[in-house]
Amino acid sequence: MKIALAQLNFHIGNFESNTQKIIDRIHEARSSGVDLIVFPELAVTGYPPRDFLEFNDFISRSEKAVNQIAAHCTDVAAIVGAPSRNQIGKGKPLFNTAWFLANGKVTKLIHKTLLPNYDIFDEYRYFEPNKTFELVECQGKKIALTICEDLWNVDENPLYYIDPMTELAKLKPDLIINIAASPFHYRQAETRLDVLRQNASKYSLPLFYVNHIGSQTELIFDGGSLVLDSKGDLVAKLADFEEDFQIFDTENLLSNPDLTAPIFTNPIESIHDALLVGIKNYFAKLGFTKAILGLSGGIDSAVTLALAAKALGAENVLALLMPSQFSSDHSISDSVQLANNLGVSYHKIGISEPYSNFEEVLKPYFQGLPFGLAEENLQARIRGVLLMAFSNKFGHILLNTSNKSEAAVGYGTLYGDMNGGLSVLGDVYKTQVFALARFINRDMEIIPENIITKPPSAELRPDQKDSDSLPDYDILDQILTLYIEERKGPDEIIAAGFDAFTVNRVLKMVNLSEHKRYQTPPILRVSPKAFGQGRRMPIVAKYLN
């Protein structure tokens, strides 16, 4: 049997586009003599549709799209992910379903059993879990058809009481197909491959896995669809971060020694590519074309500008240089050099005059009080006002340039440098930002070397350095990773060799800054635990405060 995997970039709720993409690939598969073409989980709606699933009209449109797709499944069968209604009369109103289409109609529905309800996933909010198990037959082959999480119950201490593949294996399938919506983070590809290998080798069955690509707001999908033989050896891997379509013959699955390590060996490269997809898709799927950002002469805005210029085209990005009386000359010259290197247009607008005007207005109320945080934040907010004025006037979307280290400890100004329609680096630690800059400069100097090597500074007061307020980023980022990604408590982090005072101070800063993170723009997710929907913390809490 010939099986095609169609790894595509879908758009949530864009039924016309999603349906046409699927139909086009069905026609391509038919003309290539394919017996079965496989599309990802919830391909028809896009993933994750979230509370759109609560609208009857949304589900009706999805059903109409599936039936339209089914009409094209003549001389070729298809597996398509879409929601289906729960007709049982109790439980959640929907199933997360793999629709099997053949002979111009819907012939079988296979529902998802394991519904992830952790980190970024919230499927049990909408879907009823499957409780019965059956195979799908196609061209004389019996298929164990599973949906994403259904193959992930492989840990020594499994998350779920039931294992769908154990139940399906009792029915003697010939192969496994898994349709998925598996979001990217820089460790996910390796984990995903290990999970699939365990399944293929445990059940001695070839395994066909197809994933989404593209981004949906903050979630980025890397594709990387896989085919493994019955020993768990890799046969093929589809492209990373690109649409792909490949055909396989179940009678001739040969492991490929060139694919022994299909994952990215360099996490910074994968983060770089993921961020490009995240920026490009956020703009394209919302119908935006132009971006603006504040270019300070620092590493964060430099990396953000370089990524935006590559993702959107330099002609679609505008930089504002907004020096104050505290800005160094090299911050301006470095920014100009970077903009010229990228071919990005820029404007220089000094903020000293509006800042002085604000000082004059506030003087009767601030009289006798020393210069401090209010005056520093005032500068950041003036810059935010200028950026948003350009955004409103010319239709640019403001890119936020704050990194994860800053966001974690609250080292940023609400309604100032925390403004934006999209946070590009909000899930990238400062040390990773430096590594990204080096990666961007791997072939030639795009980001001026001085931007990379000079000590980081907000330049909101004379001779200010980040190290005046924060531990060195090499130490800070290690502590933050242990606390945020690995959920270690203070005693465990101290036991790992970090200074007790520093650990307690950093964790307190993280927890006291939760109210700021509630007001940030969407953050492109590239780590296993990003700020946003995957990390839900109370604002009014005492823990470690």
Active site residues: 41, 112, 148
Tell me if 375 sits within 8 A of 391, measured CB to CB. no
Q: Which of 5, 206, 70, 37 has its CA nearest to residue 138?
A: 37
In this structure, what DSSP letter does residue 242 have?
Answer: S
Nearest 10 degrees: CA dihedral of 375, 376, 378, 379?
120
Nearest 10 degrees: CA dihedral of 388, 526, 290, 386?
20
Tell me if 115 sits within 8 A of 149, measured CB to CB. yes
Farthest CA pair distance, the chain? 87
Classify 31 as helix, strand or coil: helix
Residue type, 382: I
CA 247, CA 37: separation in Å to the nearest integer?
A: 9
Pairing of strands 219-222, 213-216: antiparallel
CA 177, CA 205: separation in Å to the nearest integer?
A: 10
Q: Given CA atoms 254, 256, 261, 262 in this order, what sign does their dihedral have?
A: negative
Give 455-460's long-range contacts (Cβ < 8 A, gap of 24+): 456/298, 456/299, 456/430, 457/298, 458/376, 458/380, 458/411, 459/296, 459/297, 459/324, 459/326, 459/327, 459/328, 459/331, 460/324, 460/326, 460/375, 460/376, 460/377, 460/379, 460/380
Element (H, E) at 260: none
Q: Which of 112, 133, 147, 123 has its CA nearest to residue 38?
A: 147
The distance from CA 340 to its chain's CA centroid, rounded to whole angstroms, is: 30
Using a 10 angstrom Cβ sphere, with 0-12 exposed, 13-18 middle and 19 or more buried, the burial of residue 140 is exposed
**DSSP strand E in 262-406: where?**
291-294, 317-321, 345-348, 397-400
Residue type, 525: R
